Copies of this chain bind each other. A is one copy, B any other.
Amino acid sequence: MDAVDRAVLTELAADPRLPTAELARRVEVSVPTARDRLRRLQESGVIRGYHLDVDPAALGYPVAAFVRVRPGPGQLPKIAELARSLPQVSECHRITGEDCFLIKVHAADVGSFEETLDRFLLHGQTTTSIIQSTPVPPRTPGLG
């Protein structure tokens, strides 16, 4: 992870669809070098992948919420499994604290959360926080 690697990451973060040749130009190294650096960053797992950012509203989910779930006794694996199986869930984290899971849930309107929450309520208690806005959209930490 030297300056060239960081420059590759910074440029690719700015535009993940950048072709290798253009990437080389911006980082100011030769094409084979850029290509090798990129390959190594991918194979070593520094670059985990690429994501398409789709507006959930266009897919019928204009509202989103973070739901904390505190599982009942023995219900912990079922909650993770349920989260994975629901298309309304876009994220699920195991966390420390009184609640064991933090789940991002999407819905057609504020009322529609009920159905999804009911599925989780079978296995524990839930605390729901509607997302009103996102002052800092997802970004890579530490890349300026």
Contacts and interface: CB of A to CB of B under 8 A. Distances in A.
A140 B65 CA distance: 14
Nearest to A80: B135
Counted per complex, copies of this chain come to: 2
Q: What's the interface size class on A, roughly?
A: 35 or more
Nearest to A1: B58
B84 A102 contact: no
Nearest to A136: B92
Interface of A: 1, 9, 12-13, 15-17, 44-56, 58-61, 65-66, 80, 83-84, 87-97, 99, 101-103, 106, 127-144
A102 B97 CA distance: 15
A60 B9 CA distance: 14
